[in-house]
Amino acid sequence: MEDVHIWKGDQARLSSAMLHELLMAMSGRPGDIFCPLPSAAEATTFAVRSDMDILYLPERLALNKLSHLGWVYSQLQAFIARVRAANKHIKEPSDSSLRGHYLQAFASALEGSLQEYERDVCKGEAAVLDPTLSDKPGQIPLAYLASSFSKWELALPALLATCTEIEHGQWKGSTLIDVVYTSARTGIEDVKQLLEPAVKALFRLLWSQVSSWILYGRLIDPHYEFFIEHRFDINKRDNTLLVNEALLPRFIPMDVANNILFIGRAVFISKQMTNTISTGSPRSHMSLPTQLTQQHQKLLVDASKAILTPPFVFLQGVHVIHLHDTFYTIRLSVADWLSQEFLVKDGGIQSYLSVFRSNFLIGDSNLATDLIDFFEERTECQTSPSSEHVSPHFTDYELTDALSQYNTSERSKFSLVNIHPDRNTSSSAESCSFFHLGHHPVRLRYSINWPLFLFITEADIEAFGDMWSFLMLWKAIQRRLTRHWHVRESICDNRDQARDIWRLRNRMVSFLDTFWTYLQMDVVDKQFRVLTEKISPAPPLKRGEPDGDSSMSSDSSTQSFAFEHIESSIGDFLSTVKQASFLHDSPCLESLLKISECCSNFHQHVLLPLNRSNLSEGDMQVDGAASSATSTASRAHATSVSLEGTFLEVTNALFAHLTRMTTKVNDESVNITMVTAAEKLLSRLDCSRWYSVGHQRRT
């Protein structure tokens, strides 16, 4: 090897061989002189071999500084290679954190930025060979190379720090924009210029996903990187579109994300419905008009140009406002179209809510009564007198088959299912399942499709299911006590026994009838009328009537956010109904459930045994049969006496709690809806002053 130094006057220059080795190391290829340290496997830099003691200390430091750039460059290239390797076989499963379109876009942009560094290395090699820079080729000063790569001393480590943050932090999807943009917000202009292409590449990818979702209702997201998420749970029949906040970039506010969700969901569901119509002629009017789509596309293109055109004033406050205005305008347009297609045609929203009122809220009492009678008959057939405490089990198929006997076209979307403890059900669903058939609680569910997705959520369906379960509990008990109303004196030892049983049954039926009337008339019917009035579209103005502000006289002023208004109105309706039914008041709900349990025990242990004795009365000529009937009547009477005391105790506790609630009307911590409900229920329960007078007498 030729000498490292070539002396000329007072200036020391490195030999051409040394400079070639340096430039090779700076291009990420260490050699004999510049080696990975401390070892090839655990290298943290490229540096001059420690045994080369012929270099001066300033030279060694300068060479190590330049060669370290080569190590940083090699790490950046290794990161790009890992990203591409992870995405090479895209259809094969992998647990790599470097998979995804956003990481590929970032790696491609990073590779483009590194091409400038590669050109500088080539320029350095050309300088070594350029005879015009020195009187002898290959003898250029080290300071010349150091000045040529001064911009990369800060830029390359900043790029590597960004890649390390992405890889170790396992950032994915559109949130990569936040990481890269944060790294680019620096006072170092070189770093800013190198990261600007990556930020723009990531933004273009995000914008293409947003445009595809808004214009065509398509979620092209194989790696689950987009902040709009489509969840489907086959067990819960949950088909939900929602905003995944974990993947939402910081420069997109939540209200803008909700607008994007609304627009795309409307287009997605309308296309899905058009493609799945099974009748002879598809309803083409459910697809977004082509002219409207073109208008939306122009708005998106203009917004993208406004954001990307300025030289790195990206994601400033003015751009966030522009985003908000763009998606707000598109949402208004889509909402107007939906209002015309849905609120005006197909019977309007009231037709769907009427079906929910009839089925979920027992507006159609015949359906509820028929179902209860059907299962009661099946239960009596499966349960023998000797095993009266064993409840039969109904499968989901049997439940749905029973419901199908009473189905209309819209009821075909309802289903009855058992709630098993081992299933993945929400806690709210388990805690609010009051109605039981056999061993498991039973719930009514509804399969949501177009256009109910637009304003009814899965949470709303669960709330409707809670109310159905609660109402069916009381309807079933009321029906059972009404069916077994006849207690014959002939099977009791004396008339007093029959009178005691009859008195308790009348008290229970009176309470059940009063509470059922309260639930249906004072709660459900009243709140349903309020809901109907709130969501009814405003009547059109007659010709000649003033329309007020002309800028707000279009359909968008009254119906542009009709679906958002409908969704919130339905949520308020369900919340008020549940509060007025005392489902949110633990002491009151506990008392009500104890009353229902007491009434059920009275039916199970008093009325049913007496009813069986009534049926066998024709055989009472036999002394054994008559003796058995008398024994049954005695046991039933003793049970009724015990249950009467329990019934009076729990009803008085309920009355006392309701009375205490009405005295807290000025307490800000008490819900006024529940106070009003307590006053109304008290007025119905105590219309004969039986509870209040009895309470005063007992105190």
Instruction: Give CA–CA dist 667/653, Å, rounded.
Output: 22
Check whether residue 440 and residue 589 sit in a common domain: yes
- When pLDDT is cut at 50, 70 and 90, the band that residue 453 belongs to is low
How many domains would you assign to the chain? Answer: 3
User: Which carries the bigger pLDDT value, residue 233 or residue 601?
Assistant: 601
Check whether residue 447 and residue 531 sit in a common domain: yes
Residue 410 has what pLDDT? 52
Q: Of the residues 170, 202, 223, which one is the last residue of a structural domain?
A: 170
Check whether residue 341 and residue 353 sit in a common domain: no
Check whether residue 31 and residue 106 sit in a common domain: yes
Q: Which strand (E) or helix (H) includes residue 441?
A: strand 440-446
Query: Has residue 550 been placed in a domain?
Result: no
Query: Has residue 699 been placed in a domain?
Result: no
Mean pLDDT, range 322-340, rounded to an integer: 84
What does the pLDDT look like over 37-67, one tens digit per residue? Answer: 888 888 889 998 888 777 788 888 889 999 9
Question: Does 404 score more than 70 pLDDT?
Answer: no
Instruction: State the burial class of residue 254 (Cβ atoms within 10 Å of its Cβ: 0-12, 13-18, 19+).
Output: exposed
Check whether residue 238 and residue 126 sit in a common domain: no
DSSP 667: -
Check whether residue 322 and residue 360 sit in a common domain: no
Question: Does 419 score more than 70 pLDDT?
Answer: no
Q: What is the pTM of this model?
A: 0.62
Query: Has residue 545 been placed in a domain?
Result: no
Chain centroid to Cα 661, Å, comes to 35
Which structural domain range is residue 663 located in?
Answer: 348-383+392-536+562-618+625-688
Check whether residue 373 and residue 252 sit in a common domain: no
Query: Has residue 182 been placed in a domain?
Result: no
Check whether residue 320 and residue 362 sit in a common domain: no
Residue 105 has what pLDDT? 93
Q: Of the residues 139, 170, 201, which one is the last residue of a structural domain?
A: 170
Residue 371 has what pLDDT? 77
CA angle at 561 for the pair 557 and 565, rounded to the nearest 5°? 120
- When pLDDT is cut at 50, 70 and 90, the band that residue 116 belongs to is very high
User: Which carries the bigger pLDDT value, residue 438 or residue 119?
Assistant: 119
What does the pLDDT look like over 596-643, one tens digit per residue? Answer: 999 988 888 888 777 766 545 444 444 454 556 567 777 878 888 888
Query: Has residue 557 been placed in a domain?
Result: no
In this prediction, what percent of the chain has a pLDDT beyond 90? 19
- Helical segments of 50-100, H only: 57-86
Range with lowest mean pLDDT among 204-213, 244-253, 424-433, 635-644: 424-433
Residue 161 has what pLDDT? 93
Query: Has residue 542 been placed in a domain?
Result: no
Residue 278 has what pLDDT? 40
User: CATH no. for residue 436?
Assistant: 1.20.120.1900
Question: Does 514 score more than 60 pLDDT?
Answer: yes
Query: Has residue 647 been placed in a domain?
Result: yes
Contacts of 268 (CB under 8 A, 6+ apart): 213, 217, 218, 219, 241
Mean pLDDT, range 560-570, rounded to an integer: 72
Question: Does 384 score more than 70 pLDDT?
Answer: no
Residue 279 has what pLDDT? 41
Range with lowest mean pLDDT among 53-67, 493-507, 538-552: 538-552
Chain centroid to Cα 15, Å, comes to 67
Residue 390 has what pLDDT? 45
The mean pLDDT value of the chain amounts to 76
Instruction: Give CA–CA dist 10/23, Å, rounded.
Output: 25
Which tokens is 584 given?
């949110």
Instruction: Give CA–CA dist 48/63, Å, rounded.
Output: 7
Contact 470, 434 (CB under 8 A): yes
Check whether residue 602 and residue 532 sit in a common domain: yes
Check whether residue 143 and residue 250 sit in a common domain: no
Contact 596, 475 (CB under 8 A): no
Check whether residue 325 and residue 365 sit in a common domain: no
Contact 33, 52 (CB under 8 A): yes
In this prediction, what percent of the chain has a pLDDT beyond 70? 70
Question: Does 424 score more than 50 pLDDT?
Answer: no
Residue 239 has what pLDDT? 56
Query: Has residue 648 been placed in a domain?
Result: yes
Q: Of the residues 145, 170, 195, which one is the last residue of a structural domain?
A: 170
Check whether residue 679 and residue 662 sit in a common domain: yes
- When pLDDT is cut at 50, 70 and 90, the band that residue 400 belongs to is low
DSSP 449: -
Instruction: Give CA–CA dist 397/418, Å, rounded.
Output: 10
User: Which carries the bigger pLDDT value, residue 531 or residue 92?
Assistant: 531
Question: Does 557 score more than 50 pLDDT?
Answer: no
